[in-house]
Amino acid sequence: MDPNLKGIATVVEKWMKGKRGPRSPLLMDSLGLREKEVVSLVGAGGKTTLMFRLARELLRVGRKVVTTTTTKILEPTSEETPCLYVDPDEDKVKAFVKARLELNHHITVASERLGVGKLKGVSQNVIADLLRLNLIDVLLIEADGAAGRPVKVPREQEPVIPPDTSLVVAILGMDGVGAELNEKNVFQPERVSRLTGVRLGDKLTAESLAVVMIHSEGIFKGTPATSRVICFLNKMDRVGGIDQGRDVARKILEKKHPQIERVVLGQLKKDPPVLEVLFPKGKDGS
């Protein structure tokens, strides 16, 4: 058996049995985070929640973290980030992180405040400059937008994944299973219809969500060839969520995408945030 699989299973089991407190790094362990990472979050149904919850875990174990976006995000609360810096001057953003990261350990940066409480992200040049500082342990980047829907496929210019990304976490909300393919439930429903063959107004299935995940024009389109990919299926806390999640996960793994390292089944707004971790066949020694 893969020792990583055994370790992750143990972490989840101990959490469920109460042997580790809610402050233990379950997300970090389940995602297999390494000492230094550039993580890009794409897809729909929990990117922002995952970014700031993971940042809190990293902060608790002493890692220095920067959170940002290459698109737009809602302005974080003081509970989500202890330090927010917004400035269109790229040199000032870099200087602020250099001066304050050792003190704050978690900084969120953006270039501009927009209407309705949103922040405009930073350029890929800023991402590269921040990495060259060699101060950041984990850089978390929301690299996609979905307007609050549980399912999406990217437009031509999306997602905006920096080339230095080491790990892409592709997120889908399980409230998409059985949902009608329309504007209310899906970001870019016409594109989803074209990729999956599901007609507008018909219901999305586990198979169609698996296609959305692994299609070359799907959620992690444009991922660098050297990046690891983890599929995160969120909202397992809904009725039937765990069974739906396992079904979607199996269908994703059956397609044998070479970059997919594992599929995580989670519920990011509850504890524990991770319920199961599934690996491609063979990675657990089978």
Domains and CATH numbers, the chain: 26-63+137-279 (3.40.50), 72-135 (no CATH)
pTM, full prediction: 0.91
Separation of alpha carbons 266 and 174, rounded Å: 10
Question: Please, are residues 64 and 101 in contact by the beta-carbon 8 Å criterion?
Answer: yes
Which of 32, 126, 118 lies closest to 70 in space, CA to CA? 126
Average pLDDT in the 134-152 region?
89
Share of the chain above pLDDT 90, in %: 80
Share of the chain above pLDDT 70, in %: 90
Question: Please, are residues 33 and 61 in contact by the beta-carbon 8 Å criterion?
Answer: no
Separation of alpha carbons 33 and 261, rounded Å: 12
CB proximity list for 107: less than 8 A, separation 6 or greater: 65, 66, 67, 81, 83, 84, 85, 96, 97, 100, 101
Residue 1 has pLDDT above 50, yes or no: no
Mean pLDDT of the chain: 90
Confidence of residue 150 (pLDDT cuts 50, 70, 90): confident
Give kind and range of the element (H or E) at residue 140. strand 138-142
Residue 170 has pLDDT above 50, yes or no: yes
Average pLDDT in the 44-69 region?
96
Separation of alpha carbons 218 and 229, rounded Å: 13
Q: What is the pLDDT of residue 6?
A: 45
Residue 21 has pLDDT above 60, yes or no: no
